[in-house]
Amino acid sequence: MDGTIEKFVIYLHDVKKTSKNTEVSYERDLRKAAAYFREQGIEDVSEISETNLNSYMLYLERENFAPSTVSRSVAAMRMFFQYLVKEKRIAEDPSEHLHPPKAEKKMPEILTVEEVDLLLRQPDAKSAKGLRDRAMLELLYATGIRVSELIHLRSSDLHLQMGYITCTDEGHERIIPFGTAAKRALEAYFKGAREQLCPGGSCHYLFTNCSGSVMSRQGFWKVLKGYAKSAGITKDITPHTLRHSFAAHMIQNGADLRSVQEMMGHADIATTQMYLNLELYKMKDTYAKAHPRK
C-alpha cells in the first residue's frame, strides 16, 4: 500500500492543489491505517472492505484518539478511495458510508458575575486608554454584541441619553438597550478620553486604537487578555467570553429566550437555547455533588 499512498499524495499536490499540512496529515493517517491492515493480513488496497474500515474506526476510538483525529482519518480515507476508484484500482468505494464521529459540543466558557465585576474594574480610569477600555468592556457585557460589532460601532449608532445602541447585521437592524453602568463608563469616555484618541471628532468609529484608527479584533483580544491576567482570572478568555456571559447571566436572572435571541442577533432560537442548557447542566452538576442519594 505504501507505493499507492505515495502516488495519492502526489495527486493531492498536483491535481487537488492541497496545502502541505493536509498532505502531511493525510499521508500520516493513511500510513497508520496501512500498518493496522497489514496486522490484519491485508496487503493490497483492493482487499479492504467497508467492514475493515469500520473495524479500523472502532480501533481508533478504543485507543482514545481524539474525535478530531478520527474525523481527519475518515476524510483521508474517503479522499484516498475516491482516488482509487478514479484511477480504476478498485471498482467500488468501501468508504462511501464511512462517517466521522459526532463532534462533542463544548459548552462556552462563562465568567461568574464576580469575575466580570473584577475584570471591569481593571482599566485605569485616570488614562484615556483606560477610560476607553472600561467603556468598551462595559458596553460589551451590557449588550452581548459581537466583538466585530463593537469595534465597528459608529458614533451615530450610540444613543447615549436614551440608553441604547443600534447594530446592523446582514441588513437586519437590532436595537439593544444598556444600563446605567455602561452609560456612566461611556460618559466618562467622552468626557476624558474621546478627544485625545480622536482629535476634533474626526473619527467615525465610536472606539479607536491609540492612533485614532479602527481597532482590530486581535488588538481588542490583547487588551482583554491583559486585564484578565491582572484580575487573576485563569479561565481561557476569548473575545466572545463576555458575550457568552451576558447571555448566560440574562437567562439566569429571568430574561426570556426570545428577547435574548433578538439582542444577540441569533437567527435560530436553538442557538440561544444553548445558554438555557448551560444553566440546566450547572444545576445537574450541583445536584450530583450535593444530593445524598445521587
Per-residue model confidence (pLDDT) at position 180:
95
Per-residue model confidence (pLDDT) at position 286:
47
Residues spanned by CATH 1.10.443.10 within the chain? 113-289
Per-residue model confidence (pLDDT) at position 256:
87
- pTM (global) more than 0.85: no
| Residue 177: strand pairing partners | 164
- The set of cell numbers assigned to 168 is 446592523
Per DSSP bridges, beta strands 164-169 and 172-177 are: antiparallel
Q: How far apart are CA 96 and CA 81, in angstroms?
A: 9
Q: Which long-range contacts (CB under 8 A, 24 or more apart) does 285-292 make?
A: none
Per-residue model confidence (pLDDT) at position 284:
47
Grouped pLDDT means (10 residues each) for the chain, 294 residues: 88 88 90 93 92 92 84 92 92 89 70 94 94 96 92 93 87 88 96 87 85 87 94 88 91 88 84 73 49 50
- The set of cell numbers assigned to 125 is 480610569
Per DSSP bridges, beta strands 172-177 and 158-159 are: unpaired
Per-residue model confidence (pLDDT) at position 264:
87
* Alpha-carbon distance values, 33 to 2, 21, 70, 92, 154 (Å): 11, 18, 11, 19, 54
Per-residue model confidence (pLDDT) at position 291:
44
Per-residue model confidence (pLDDT) at position 131:
96
Per-residue model confidence (pLDDT) at position 282:
54
Q: What 3-state DSSP class applies to 176?
A: strand
CB 233 within 8 A of CB 111: yes
- CA proximity to 205, closest of 257, 149, 254: 149
CB 241 within 8 A of CB 226: no
Max Cα-Cα span within the chain:
78
CB 5 within 8 A of CB 19: no
Q: How far apart are CA 271 and CA 240, in angstroms?
A: 14
Per-residue model confidence (pLDDT) at position 170:
60
Given CATH 1.10.150.130, say whether it is the number of domain 2-86: yes
Phi, psi angles (nearest 5°) of residue 208: -130, 170
Task: Annotate 223-264 with three-state secondary structure.
Answer: HHHHHHHHCCCCCCCCCCHHHHHHHHHHHHCCCCHHHHHHHH
Q: What 3-state DSSP class applies to 123?
A: coil
Q: How far apart are CA 4 and CA 10, in angstroms?
A: 10
Residues spanned by CATH 1.10.150.130 within the chain? 2-86
- What angle do helix axes 241-252 and 128-143 make, rounded to 10 degrees? 50
Classify domain 113-289 by CATH architecture. Answer: Orthogonal Bundle (1.10)
Residue 173 DSSP symbol? E
For the stretch 172-222, pLDDT in tens is 789 999 999 999 999 999 998 998 888 876 788 999 988 888 888 889 999
Q: How far apart are CA 12 and CA 17, in angstroms?
A: 6
Per-residue model confidence (pLDDT) at position 30:
94
Residue 40 DSSP symbol? T
Per-residue model confidence (pLDDT) at position 275:
81
Q: How far apart are CA 120 and CA 151, in angstroms?
A: 18
Q: How far apart are CA 95 and CA 199, in angstroms?
A: 63
Neighbours of 276 (CB within 10 A): 16
